[in-house]
Amino acid sequence: MANVLATVDQRTKLVGENRLELLLFSINSTQLFAINVFKVKEVVKLPPLNAMPGSHPHIYGVANIRGISIPVIDLRSAIGFKPVPPDDDANMIITEYNRSVQGFLVGKVEHIINMTWSDIMPPPKTAGRNNYLTAITRIEHQGKSQLVSIIDVEKVLAEIIHYDISLSEGVLDETLVHEMPGRKILIVDDSSTARRQVRETLSQLGIEIIEASDGLQALNLLQKWRDEGKQVSKELLMMITDAEMPEMDGYKLTSEVRGDKAMSDLYITLNTSLSGSFNHAMVEKVGCDKFISKFQPDLLVEVVQERLRQVINH
């Protein structure tokens, strides 16, 4: 199974072309689930695990992979299914999110599929707010059309790991405090958990937050303002966007904004759980102003303050 990801480093050209690759897997006998390949470091057969007394109920144990201890999350129980003991098909998907490495206990790992973000749809609104999906898609699998549910890993992790939104002493620039109320920031992210983390962090400053759940929704809003005669860069202090989203990813969104003279000067920060130098290269390629890896409240506030200083001193 390890060789299924052998060429993952060569796949980066897909990002920025509004394309993605999904790793398909099962956690029960009837449904297919997926996560983005770019967040996957490795897939291995479930190794022997050590118990972690006092840990969260969804932590199944700790794996030792080449001398590194990795907490293993039972994805089945974490997203609301009744936990069952792993069988011979059990695998561990090792991922990197928000600068931390974790393993997910899953069932059979199928294969990787290549998709366009336009083929990826948000979950139905009737699914409610408590579902663990960021998106759904439909594929041909074993000769029939089958629904694939794309896991909101950030929500799963946020329910296990406490993310503190409080700011470190000295981060807040007191000389800017009176400048912040009434400023608007557009947050674009398909994960409601990620949007909430950013919203709650920046709302402490009195900043007004506008939200969009994918790149196309954000672009439509910006174009609506443009068509109404509004100057987008005056309406917004900045836009903070995720990289991977249904219908239109953050790179494509940035490219579309930069290609429109009426809003090309909008300040754009890429805020993503994807790690590595690749993102910095993509930031330069599509023209983002800043890159922040999730979730760092202090750094987020510092970027906002830096932008506010530019606006005030302009």
Q: Specify the domain boundaries for CATH 3.40.50.2300 within the chain.
A: 184-313
Say which CATH superfamily domain 184-313 falls into: Response regulator (3.40.50.2300)
Cβ-count burial 160-176 (b if 16+ within 10 Å, e if not)? eeebebebeeeebeeee
DSSP assignment, residue 219? H
Q: What is the DSSP string of 169-217?
A: TT-S-GGGGGG-TT-EEEEE-S-HHHHHHHHHHHHTTT-EEEEESSHHH
**pLDDT value, residue 127:** 64
Q: Quick count: other Cβ atoms within 10 Å of Cβ 259?
A: 10
**pLDDT value, residue 118:** 81
**pLDDT value, residue 10:** 45
Contacts of 230 (CB under 8 A, 6+ apart): none
Say which CATH superfamily domain 15-160 falls into: CheA-289, Domain 4 (2.40.50.180)
Contact, 268 vs 238, CB < 8 A? yes
Using alpha carbons only, what angle is made at residue 124 by residues 198 and 185, rounded to the nearest 5 degrees? Answer: 25
Contact, 58 vs 78, CB < 8 A? yes
Task: Output the six-digit token pair for 187.
Answer: 């947050």
Q: Specify the domain boundaries for CATH 2.40.50.180 within the chain.
A: 15-160
Contact, 160 vs 153, CB < 8 A? no
**pLDDT value, residue 212:** 96
pLDDT in single tens digits along all 314 residues of the chain: 445 544 444 444 555 567 788 999 998 777 899 998 877 888 999 999 998 888 899 999 999 998 889 999 999 999 989 888 888 889 999 988 767 889 999 999 988 988 888 888 888 776 666 788 888 999 887 788 889 999 988 889 888 887 788 888 889 999 998 999 989 999 999 888 889 989 999 988 999 999 999 999 999 999 999 999 999 999 999 999 998 887 888 888 999 999 999 999 999 999 877 655 555 666 677 788 988 888 889 999 999 999 999 999 87
Tokens 């060569």 appear where?
Answer: 10
Nearest CA to 58 out of 150, 157, 134 is that of: 157
